[in-house]
Amino acid sequence: MDTDEKLALVAQTIAHQGGQISALASALLCTLHVARGTPGLSEAIEARLAQNHANLTARSESPEYLAGFEGMREQIAAALK
């Protein structure tokens, strides 16, 4: 496999994952809209995210990974308000 073929494969893989990420983001947004109207669900989601963050921090994940998690957690918290 030459370099152009390898680059095309990487580009295709990234595009595929981007589509999956977009679909997940859309599903999450719909779920968050429902959660806002469900008593106690917003708080449960926020508590679970806090617990997962504590677990990630304890395992000393990479700073970039933690920053990504924290950024997404903030966006989710804002969507739940």
Lowest mean pLDDT among 37-41, 59-63, 74-78: 59-63
* Nearest-angstrom CA–CA distance, 16 and 26: 16
What pLDDT, on a 0 to 100 scale, did the predictor assign at position 64? 86
Angle at which helices 3-36 and 63-80 cross, to 10°: 40
Total residue length of the chain = 81
Residue 56 confidence class, pLDDT cut points 50, 70, 90: confident
Chain segment 1-41, per-residue pLDDT in tens: 788 888 888 888 888 777 788 888 888 888 888 888 888 99
What pLDDT, on a 0 to 100 scale, did the predictor assign at position 16? 78
